[in-house]
């Protein structure tokens, strides 16, 4: 999840909503990094994990609802400021290759602000397409040069 519009406020709001819906959450360190794809305020990003018996479509719908509750406006502009961005990155070891829905998300391997906290949180998990642990993917990644500052968020 990430935000660059009042990020501490909206991340706290989204975490509360997720915890109310799914129960205990596991979360990575939050990282501050520059906006990617547009000039804008820095983002705060972190990765969360939770256990659920819901199907993947229900989880996606819940994440979209939480984004909306946080004031997310889907203007059609892909790279723009966001109150909340909740992306489902992985769903266990399942692979989905539908034209409109792909998991694991390709962005995992493209952005340090996703791979680093994901590897921190679930380093022993094997990426179901790459067949390597998330920790190994991060360790061997050229993304490590991306400037990211850990942020101590106390909730």
**Active site positions, annotated:** 72, 82, 85, 87
> What distances in angstroms separate CA 8 from CA 45, 87, 91, 98, one per listed residue?
10, 18, 26, 34
Q: Chain centroid to CA 102: how far?
A: 15
Radius of gyration of the chain (CA): 15
**Exposure b/e, 125-140, CB count within 10 A at least 16 = b:** bebeeeeebbeebbee
Contact 121, 29 (CB under 8 A): no
DSSP 128: T
């Amino acid at each position: 999840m990430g935000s660059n519009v009042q990020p501490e406020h909206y991340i706290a709001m989204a975490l509360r909503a997720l915890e109310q819906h799914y129960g205990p959450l596991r979360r990575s360190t939050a990282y501050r990094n520059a906006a990617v794809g547009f000039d804008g305020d820095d983002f705060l990003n972190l990765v969360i994990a939770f256990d659920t018996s819901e199907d993947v479509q229900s989880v996606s719908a819940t994440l979209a609802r939480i984004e909306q509750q946080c004031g997310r406006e889907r203007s059609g502009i892909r790279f723009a400021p966001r109150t909340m961005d909740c992306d489902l990155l992985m769903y266990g070891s399942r692979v989905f290759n539908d034209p409109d829905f792909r998991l694991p998300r390709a962005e995992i391997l493209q952005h340090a602000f996703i791979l680093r906290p994901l590897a921190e949180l679930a380093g022993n998990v094997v990426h179901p397409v790459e067949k390597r642990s998330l920790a190994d993917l991060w360790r061997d990644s050229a993304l490590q040069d991306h400037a990211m500052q850990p942020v101590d968020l106390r909730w």
